[in-house]
Amino acid sequence: YQVISSLFFSIAEILSLTLLNYNGDTFDQISCKIDAFLIEYLLWVKLLFTICLSFHFFGLAVCLKDFRKFELAYVLFSIICPLLFTWIPFIHNSYDIAGAWCWIRNWKDNCATRHYIEGITEQFVLWYGPLFFFLTITVIGVFIMVAVLAWRACKKNTSNSENEA
């Protein structure tokens, strides 16, 4: 699922490069808004698949439980959940050219000195904030997994050497 979501994200990025045109045509602006939405949505799908995969590995390594029965839930969660909030930048008309790509714009009238506060806020609330939060939780989970697996390996080696003696 991670590879499939990466494929779709790559296609959206290629569309971003091919559709981006700085002459301000209406068609290009509409294409940019659609592509910006797709990029935001697919970034979230990739992030949620990563979280689900980490949760699955955590369950296998730490809890010693098989979570294969949750596979459909992982997929539905990762595909449906981003649809709940990736539409929000449409309210403020924030999806547009954002530098060299289409995403949530962070300046007004294509002038980098005029900050667009709604866009900057949406970038941090809808992407950067949750991204850093979830990646931090995932990294902590990985450290816990490594510590538990190392502890179990040491415990197993210690009990094996005691049995041999």
| Integer CA distances (angstroms), 142 to 67, 112, 127, in order | 17, 39, 22
Produce one character per residue of 89-101: b if its CB has 16 or more CB atoms within 10 Å, e if not. beeeebbbbbeee
pLDDT in tens, 82-105: 999 999 999 988 888 877 778 888
Task: Decide: pTM greater than 0.85.
Answer: no
- Residue 92, token pair as written in the block: 């403020």
pLDDT in tens, 115-141: 888 888 999 999 999 999 999 999 999
pLDDT tier at 157, thresholds 50, 70, 90: confident
Q: How far apart are CA 124 and CA 138, in angstroms?
A: 19
Query: For residue 98, what pLDDT is reported?
Result: 79
Residue 48: exposure state from Cβ atoms within 10 A (0-12, 13-18, ≥19)? buried
The residue whose two tokens read 């979830």 is: 134
